[in-house]
Structure 1
Amino acid sequence: MNPTSSSSSSPFLSLVIWVFFFFFFFFFFFLQAPTNARELPPMSSPLHSPFPSPLPTLILPSSQSLPIPASPSPATPPSTVMQIIVEKHHHYHKELMVATVLSSIAIFMIIISAFCAWILWRRTTQTADSKDIQSSDSTMGLALGPILNKLNSLKTSKKGFLAMVEYSTLESATNNFSESNVLGEGGFGCVYKASFDGGLLAAVKKLDHGGQECVREFENEVDLLGRIRHPNVVSLLGYCVHEGKRLLVYEFMQNGSLESQLHGASRGSHLSWHLRMKIALDTARGLEYLHEHCNPPVIHRDLKSSNILLDADYNARISDFGLAVNAVGPSKENVKLSGTVGYVAPEYLLDGKLTEKSDVYAFGVVLLELLVGRKPVEKTEPSLPQSIVTWAMPQLTDRSKLPNIVDPVIRNKMDLKHLYQVAAVAVLCVQPEPSYRPLITDVLHSLIPLVPTELGGTLRVVDSSPLNPKAL
């Protein structure tokens, strides 16, 4: 038997018992009342009527008169009969008062029982939900429990749990942090491919230099990703602190980063138009969760194509929360200027003003990368780097020029109306004035109709062949 279901049904069982008990007492009382009444003397009878029987009315001539006979003497004195009536009336009045009080108490107890049952049900439901969330979290990406059989301990917090992994376990899983296992390199260290028992994989970020800034980013990432669970945010499975080295264990993303797909050896050849729109939609969903559903809201502050990871089915997840800050509170006010050139919003770069619209600007740059296949900053001339926003903006608003700047891999392979709509969204996102940029929720709703239903949108693709996500 499931203990959760039995515990959730016990409040309702107690409520039924309460209702049965009080209604049984209530009806028993009223069934007894008529019996008691029948044991009392009858109220009246033809022989003991307190009032004389009415005399027949005779119509006589006015000149005649009859003597009025004296009233017969009743068998029972009128005063005694009236006393019996008053006593019986008082007796029934008392019974009615008692019944009213008991029924009121019964109703009150039923209401209290129902309220207590509702509270217990809510608590049971919340407990079950938290267990389900933990269960679903444990099955996302890498099933850490069965894999990391050398866990040192479990760190439990109010908002989630992470596994503290032994350094020797990570060392063995990464082949002693071999260069052949390197997946990428960041500002404070490398990311390694880790293979645990059973052939299951994870990504291990090793932060072994950077001083206090490295420590702050490590703690920030553990704090945020330890309590964030969303399909479009990468899952942090565990961490390790060993002799000044700090390591983070993530779920493994088979297709690497969006940057490597767009600007690596394949040059975006694996990404069709529909897959690119799906990646944009997934990223928008992840940002919307951070901006609208986290409490307090979270500003990522370093959204870029290298921090958007892709799994085997090209589902996108936002990663690297080392620079993320809460949208309200002192953490937002005391941050120094950070980010990546080409993605940083102008108001943040020039005036230090940081809002959720700063992430929207970075999202617009990623959308341009998906659209035109260029890096955020490129050197069009040997000594003059140019941002993708500066280069693309004049052509994005010209419908005659727009098809010519699209990535050749997807050129002429989409509905022009959809192309114009994506270009319009990108233009709004990279507006210099933050108040002109849309909320990420508005961006999300603009992209949903452009993505096929099979990939998470609402677009119905008319095709006689089965829809294969990798072929879109």
Structure 2
Amino acid sequence: MACLQLQVLLLLACLLLDAPHLSSAAATVPTPPFSFNFDFSNMSTYHSDDLRFEGNATVHGSFVDLTCNAYGLDISQCTAGRMSYSHPVPFYDETTKEVASFSTEFTFKIIVPKFNNDKAKGDGMAFFLARYPSRMPPRSGGGNLGLITNDNYSSIGPDQFVSVEFDTYNNTWEQPKQTGDHMGIYINTVTYSTNTTNVSSFSPNESMMTASITFDSKTSMLVASLQYTGNYSNYAPVNVSAKLPDPTTLLPSEVAVGFSAATGAAFELHQIHSWSFNSTIAAPVQKDHKKAIAVGVSIGGGLILVLLVWSILSWWKWRKTNREFDKGTRGACRFKYHHLVAATNHFSMDNRIGAGAFGEVHKGFLTQLGREVAVKKILRESRAGNKDFFDEVQTISRAKQKNLVELLGWGMKGSSIIDFVMCWRRQKNTDLFLVYEFVDNGNLHMHLYEKEALLSWRIRYKIVKGIISALVYLHHDRDPYILHRDIKPSNILLDKHFNARLADFGLSRTADNGTIQSSMVVGTANYLDPECMKTGKFNRSSDVYSFGLVLLEIACKKDENSYAQVWERYIDKTLMQVADDRLQGMFDKRQMERVIVLGLWCCQPNIEMRPTMEEAMDFLETDGPLPKLAKPKTSSSHRKKKGAAGKSSSRDIDKRTGGVRQFKYNALAAATNQFSSENRLIGAGPFGEGYKGFFKEMGRHFAIRRFRRRADQKEAARRTSMTREKAHTIFLVYEFVDNSNLRVHLHEKEAVLPWTTRYKIVKDICAALVYLHHERRPFVLHRNIKPNNILLDKEFNAKLADFGLCGTADKVGKARYMDSECRKTGKLKRSSDVYSFEIVLLEIACKKDENSYAKVWSRYLEKSLMQVVGDRLRGESDERQMDWCCQPNIDMRPTMHQAMDFLKSDGPFPELAEPETSSKHGKLPGRETMHKGCLDNSRDDTRQRFPSKIT
């Protein structure tokens, strides 16, 4: 956009700089005579913007029809039409009263249908000059020829005209001399002509005719001549002329010129094939050209000065930016942007291999290095200026260790002086890239949870030692040391020999004074040290905590790898029972025990009790005694009795919220105007009312839910931000999403959501559920997925909301969206969320009256699936982006990982098992009474029934 604006500015400058010359030329050189020439059989001779059509007039092929180009129509539908030149035509100079002489020539046909009686022609056409712009009067059909209203015998005011008529109606009753076809000159009337002459016929066998009309301003004579062509060229020409009164009293200085025609009781066609027009009037002489020259010089000089300053500033900014980047990156190899574009095939989706919090990653081949690379594009919104970029390049370029992913160099889009001169952008908006070595064997998360092949204990232990080696280097061998701040399985890459390579230093920082204070929320919440969440301070123990959680994931069962669960086994001295049972006991027990204990040690709530990475390495490599781990203070806090006062309860809540920010009640009341009805959000869930609030100190809006008091308030304390009244009313503080929810946009708003937006929403919901089901440890069930709980921001990004049912309700879900299997068994599983997700998919894609599973299944069997697509989408949808998730057999449903892969891939559709209810159009299995057992957080794993990857 900036480039376009600057180019327009440069063009304007050139024009204004030349303005004096243009002004002078306008003053000394007369404007050439006004003229145009249209051949309607050749579209290159005219432009549609040059013509104005009114009434029934229109272009048909190689000619213009003034009246309807169809036979047998009701004559009331074909009354009149006009075609005129759409721009004003100079008629006389208002100052000098000089009148233009003009001439016009046109070829035309008047065709009488065979079913018409020759004596009943109707009604004719005319060439006219009228007030600009052309306006066809109402009720001007029949003998009025589209020139005059039927109620009047003469025209005054805006409908005044001068015309040459080619009249085909026999109106001897009105003018006895006019016995049939006649040509005449009329001024402001169609009844009494200035001069008229009879014509043998305007339509001899549909022959072409040529008419020429001239006006001499010196004699005021208007002369019209008609000549036949072709087989009728021997017909004598017909002429008619008249002297006009003072033209300046007839019409304004600028007029509309054109043709008008009409039909009445009879029917005929009026066709114009070509038209030329010439006028001799010249534009008035420019008297104030000196003033124009002065203005042009002033503006042009000013623009020259602005452009000069612009160029100097652009050069200075370009030089300064390049120096800052070279200084900030400390001499790291710099790749040209076009080399990165070529290496990644223009950053195509086929080359995209991942996306992190700080940007997308594309695989590429750099011919300059002769090797495969991973190119990471840093998202603009993820950095403040280029500070993050400079920090990352400095950090990684100096870190060289075998278990760290190597940074090969960096690049920047638009780094030449031309880019800055033509498109001056702030540094923050510059596209920045990091180029890493390509590690070709995926990451630890994929191998632990997604791939069928099981990682042996020997490989897992090798990976553990590789991670420790990398962190010992970062924490102890570097000066100043480096914090990673986002250690998680997906950031641990594996090469073909399963050597661990610690990646994604997007959140890394050097720490000169031992601690980093950050106002940004960094890292992945599931692996983030609670102490960091509370204080915003990062140190080496923060990385140690994240590393401990990763160790527990490597060693333990999928559903028993949280710190709390493993701690219980440690207390009970049954630690081996949490070892990953998929290993079937094929592991070194000493190694397994030490890895699990090290994981617990690293996750100690008291940061002073955690080991350093050097101590962790020594612990694994030696056979010394196991450390004595301090018992977490929170391990028995939930068992305490209520005590003498409410203080104990308050402390318990503070502990269980894990350090998440607590707002004071007075602040919430002020933000919501004392919880006024004006601030109340539409709709209240089963847990309380919602209010919109504005926190001045934070400068942003929030959604605040008043949580209804219930016996299990301890669950509410797990929410994002919370506070409480003296009477222990809990409030939850959420981000405010300002574009309503999916249900409103699907069923209440008039504007239709296009398919591209709907598909984007589907992918966003899918991504959220993948995180809850597969990336959280332990996984989280939503249990109330429905359109109302899918909020949309102003860019229509979907935000999954209302986790109020995730662990605090006796009744869960809404009947329409609830898995029938849950109704039967009273147990909720991940497949229950998958079922609800599918019902939402059908609602997004299908017609309102055909979005039940049974109806869609019927269409699926008939291979007419696209018939259920919402009518309002008007064919915008993509057929392959539609059905799988709501199989009645829960073992046949996909996981959310598989659903995401299915949406992203172009592979074949899965073979769906036919449900027992497939022939019963309408209802899903019966609504049995729900059991409280629905709250059973069963950890199903249905992946074994499916391939781990859809191709």
TM-score computed with the length of structure 1 as normaliser: 0.55
Return the alpha-carbon distance in structure 2 between the equivalents of residues 428 and 324 of structure 1.
23
1:408 aligns with 2:581: yes
Secondary structure of residue in 1 paired with 2:411: strand
Cα pair distance change 1:354/1:331, threshold 3 Å: closer
Aligned to 2:617: 444
Return the offset for 1:212.
3.6
**Which of 547, 552, 558 is the aligned partner of 1:368?**
552
Match of 1:209 in 2: 380
* Alignment match, 2:345: 175
Q: CA deviation at 1:208?
A: 3.8
- Say whether the 8 Å CA contact 2:328–2:394 is kept in structure 1: no
Cα distance between partner residues in 2 of 1:231 and 1:157: 26
Q: Per-residue deviation at 1:195?
A: 1.9
2:445 is equivalent to residue 265 of structure 1: no
Q: Residue type of the partner of 2:619? A: S
SS class of match (1:432):
coil
Please tell me whether the aligned partners of residues 486 and 524 of structure 2 are also in contact (alpha carbons under 8 angstroms).
yes
- CA 334–348 in structure 1, closer or farther in 2 if over 3 Å, else same: closer
Equivalent residue number for residue 388 of structure 1? 562
1:157 positional shift: 6.7
Q: CA separation in 2, counterparts of 1:156 and 1:215? A: 12
Query: Does residue 425 of structure 1 match 2:595?
Result: no
Question: Which of 363, 377, 380 pairs up with 1:193?
Answer: 363
Shift of 1:449: 5.5
2:412 aligned residue:
241
Calculate percent identity across the aligned residue pairs. Answer: 33
2:507 to 311, 323, 332: 323
| Residue matched to 1:3 | none
CA–CA distance in structure 1, aligned partners of residues 385 and 526 of structure 2: 23
Q: 2:549 and 2:382 mapped to 1: Cα distance?
A: 31
1:255·1:310 contact (CA, 8 Å) conserved in 2? yes
Q: How has the CA–CA distance of structure 1 residues 448 and 160 changed in structure 2, closer, same or farther, with 3 Å as cutoff?
A: farther
1:306 offset after TM fit, Å? 1.3
- Provide structure 1 residue ranges, at least 5 long, that are not aligned to the other structure: 1-151, 375-379, 381-385, 451-472
Q: CA deviation at 1:331?
A: 7.7
Give the C-alpha shift of residue 182 in structure 1.
1.5
Q: 1:210 to 1:328 in 2, by over 3 A?
A: same
Q: Work out the CA distance in 1 between the residues paired with 2:438 and 2:549.
A: 26
User: Could you tell me how far 1:194 is from its partner in structure 2?
Assistant: 0.7
**Superposition deviation, residue 354 in structure 1:** 2.3
Hey, what's the Cα distance between the residues in 1 that align with 2:514 and 2:548? 27
Q: CA deviation at 1:352?
A: 2.7
Deviation digits for residues 335-389 of structure 1 (CA, Å, limit 9, x no counterpart): 5342211211121112234221111111001101101253xxxxx8xxxxx9822
Alignment partner, residue 473 of structure 2: 289
Between 410-419 and 252-261, the greater mean CA deviation after superposition: 410-419
Aligned residue identity for 1:222: V
Higher percent of residues as strand: 2
Per-residue deviation, residues 149-202 of structure 1 (Å, max 9, x unmatched): xxx99x977996422111111111112212121111112321111123397211
CA contact (8 A) 1:182 1:192 kept: yes
2 CA distance for matches of 1:330 and 1:427? 24
Kindly tell me: are residues 230 and 349 of structure 1, through their superposed partners in 2, closer, same or farther at Cα, counting changes over 3 Å? same
Task: Spell out the pairing of 1:40-119 with structure 2 (5 A cutoff).
Answer: none
How far did residue 211 of structure 1 move?
5.4
Q: CA deviation at 1:214?
A: 7.4
Q: State how far apart, in whole Å, the 2-side matches of 1:351 and 1:181 are.
A: 40
Map residues 127-142 of structure 1 onto 2, 5 A cutoff: none
Q: Which residue identity lines up with residue 163 of structure 1 in the other structure?
A: C
Does residue 254 (structure 1) correspond to residue 440 (structure 2)? The answer is: yes
Q: C-alpha displacement at 1:414, in angstroms?
A: 1.1
Specify the code of the residue in structure 1 equivalent to 2:343: A
For 1:427, give the aligned amino acid. L
Cα deviation code 1:303-351 (max 9, x no counterpart): 1111111111111121122222233349823553422112111211122
Deviation string 1:119-177 (CA, Å, 9 cap, x unpaired) is: xxxxxxxxxxxxxxxxxxxxxxxxxxxxxxxxx99x97799642211111111111221
Distance 2:383 2:355 in 1: 19
- The CA distance in 2 between the partners of 1:183 and 1:213, in whole Å, is 25
The aligned residue for residue 230 of structure 1 is 401
1:326 is paired with a residue whose SS is strand
Number of the residue aligned with 2:608: 435
Structure 1: which amino acid aligns with 2:523? G
8 Å contact kept, 2:410–2:434:
yes
Q: Tell me, in whole angstroms, the C-alpha distance in 1 between the residues paired with 2:511 and 2:358.
A: 25
2:540 to 356, 375, 383: 356
Matched with 2:333 is 163
Which secondary structure does the structure 1 equivalent of 2:493 belong to?
Answer: strand
1:355 and 1:330, CA in 2 relative to 1: closer, same or farther beyond 3 A? closer
Q: Which residue in 1 is equivalent to 2:423?
A: none
Supply the distance in 1 between the matched residues of 2:585 and 2:330 (Cα, whole angstroms): 47
Q: Which amino acid aligns with 2:596?
A: A
Helix, strand or coil: the match of 2:433? Answer: strand
Distance 2:519 2:407 in 1: 24
Which residue of 2 is the match for residue 21 of structure 1?
Answer: none
How far is the alpha carbon of 1:397 from its aligned partner?
4.3
In structure 2, the CA distance between the partners of 1:325 and 1:335, relative to structure 1 (3 Å rule), is farther
**Distance between the aligned counterparts of 1:300 and 1:434, measured in 2?**
17
**Cα distance change of structure 1 residues 160 and 233 upon mapping to structure 2, 3 Å threshold:** farther
- TM-fit CA distance, 1:403: 3.0
Determine if contact 2:375/2:436 at 8 Å carries over to the other structure.
Answer: yes
The aligned amino acid for 1:169 is H
Deviation at 1:272, TM superposition (A): 1.0
Indicate conservation of the 8 Å contact 1:161/1:227, yes or no: no
Residues 166 and 196 of structure 1, relative CA distance in 2, 3 Å threshold: same
Q: What is the CA distance between 1:282 and its match in structure 2? A: 0.8
1:354 and 1:273 map into 2 onto residues whose CA distance is 32
What letter is aligned with 1:295? D
List per-residue Cα deviations over 1:198-242 (Å, max 9, x = no partner): 972111111243154473322221110111111111110011110
Q: 1:411 to 1:214 in 2, by over 3 A?
A: farther
Structure 1 pair 387–406 and aligned structure 2 pair: CA distance change class (3 A): closer
Q: 1:315 to 1:330 in 2, by over 3 A?
A: closer
Q: Contact 1:207–1:214 (CA<8 Å) still a contact in 2?
A: no
Quote the Cα distance in structure 1 between the aligned partners of 2:383 and 2:490: 24
Query: Aligned in 2, Cα 1:185/1:331: closer, same or farther, shift over 3 Å?
Result: same
Report the Cα distance in structure 1 between the residues aligned to 2:584 and 2:573, rounded to whole angstroms.
14
* CA distance in 2: counterparts of 1:429 and 1:278, whole angstroms: 19
Q: State the alpha-carbon separation in 1 of the partners of residues 520 and 615 from structure 2.
A: 29
d(CA) in 1 for partners of 2:330, 2:495: 23
